[in-house]
Amino acid sequence: MARPTNLPVDPARIADVIDGLAALTEPGRPYTRRAFTALFPAGRAFLAGKFKAAGLETRIDAAGNLVARRPGRKPGLGTIMLGSHSDTVPDGGRYDGIAGVAVALEVARALADQGIELDHDLEVVDFLAEEVSIFGVSCIGSRGMAGVLPQEWLSRQSGELTLEQGILDAGGEPARIAAEARRDIAAFLELHIEQGPVLETERRDIGVVTAIAGITRIEIVVEGRADHAGTTPMGNRADALAAAARLVTGIEALAKSLCEGPSHFTATVGEFSIEPNAANVVPSRARLLIDARAEDRMAMDLFAASVDRLAEQIARETGTVIAAPRRISDNMPTPGDPLVLDVLDAACEAAGASYRRMASGAGHDTAFMAKVTRAAMIFVPCLGGRSHAPEEFAATDDIALGAAVLLHAVIQLDEKLHKMIQEDV
């Protein structure tokens, strides 16, 4: 892909932040810096130093998010916010989340370099614990900022540590999370590596994210009958595993059919177990868990209804008992804000970046910020679509072009949002 030259951002500064955080990893485990573990505060201290060196007012909010502020010319007008997260999964990558924080900081630096004052305040945020944490939950900081962090989560424990204490240790104030929920954010933007192969395959610079897919998890339990594997005739069995295998292939076929439609859809049987799990016993019970993700809620509802019918059919044909599939979690998709999406399209053109609109199959902090403001994301390519692995890689030039897109978008949003307020008045 031909890259524009003379970008209004500094790729070296972006790489410096990414490389600096990458160096802070558990010995022998690149790249591991999980929230609420010993190395996470070192990463936070590194970022806070970079934020302050850029002239930004830096603090930790009640939910434990690291927030850096550049005041705007019009106090009280609201905040344009950029950010992502610096925590990693175990043995994870050096770009997931981190690239978004580095780019957010670079936008603030580039505005200062060019002497551009925004009407709105600008904030750069490193959200606490976007990845699934040691407490078994994710997006803790963005849920807290949006005012939707469940109060009961604070008592979750990992060993002797509670989430409440973990937030306190990160510099937050758990008792004030609800009171400090943000309602002043005019718009939120997040850059992220794609974590998939589409942009690389199509040789596009930027993905403008139309929606973050809703995630539904469906549990199915198949009850058969345990019998001797060597003496029970094949026609006289109620084999729970054989029935479950048909479910798995049927679920795959349904997902392949739905993914051919106009919107993003995936379904995966990610958990599977059988009982008694003995070589010489016909399986008596099988349990499977489906992870289904859809950009369009109607597609998810169609999938779930089709799975119900499939389970009924297989139970009849195999002599097993399959209880009605149970949705154990069910999250709606989060569409990108139409105005912000249009601004991002225009920003890609202004930066000379090729782009396409696409959905995100993974969850992100943006899904929670969208509950309190206009929000959208952009993706940049990553090598082979690899993520959550040490091999995760995104080229600095690709990330810098994404930073240029966000810079153009912030300047356009600052003007458009202020104009909208004036017109309303």
Average pLDDT over residues 232-238: 97
Strand partners, 364: none
Average pLDDT over residues 393-419: 97
Residue 256 pLDDT exceeds 70: yes
Per-residue pLDDT band at 425 (split at 50, 70, 90): low
Mean pLDDT of the chain: 97
Structure tokens at 223: 């009850």
Per-residue pLDDT band at 61 (split at 50, 70, 90): very high
Q: Which 3 state secondary structure label does DSSP give 86? A: coil
Residue 421 pLDDT exceeds 90: no
pLDDT given for residue 3 in this prediction: 62
From residue 145, give the alpha-carbon distance in Å to each of 67, 292, 366, 389, 411: 11, 27, 11, 29, 24
Please write the tens of the pLDDT for every residue from 98-148: 999 999 999 999 999 999 999 999 999 999 999 999 999 999 999 999 999
CA distance 153 to 155: 5
Residue keyed to tokens 């803790």: 140
From residue 413, give the alpha-carbon distance in Å to each of 8, 76, 364: 17, 16, 21
pLDDT given for residue 4 in this prediction: 67
Q: Please spell the DSSP secondary structure of 300-342, one letter per residue.
A: HHHHHHHHHHHHHHHHHHHT-EEPPPEEEEE---EEPPHHHHH
Please write the tens of the pLDDT for every residue from 312-336: 999 999 999 999 999 999 999 999 9
* Backbone phi, psi, residue 60, to 5°: -105, 130
**386 neighbors 393 (Cβ within 8 angstroms):** yes
Please write the tens of the pLDDT for every residue from 265-300: 999 999 999 999 999 999 999 999 999 999 999 999
Per-residue pLDDT band at 21 (split at 50, 70, 90): very high
User: How many CA atoms lie within 13 Å of 320's alpha carbon, on the beta-carbon side?
Assistant: 33
Q: What percentage of the chain carries pLDDT values higher than 90?
A: 96
Average pLDDT over residues 304-318: 98
Instruction: Decide: pTM greater than 0.85.
Output: yes
Task: Name which of 145, 140, 65 is nearest 371 in CA terms.
Answer: 145
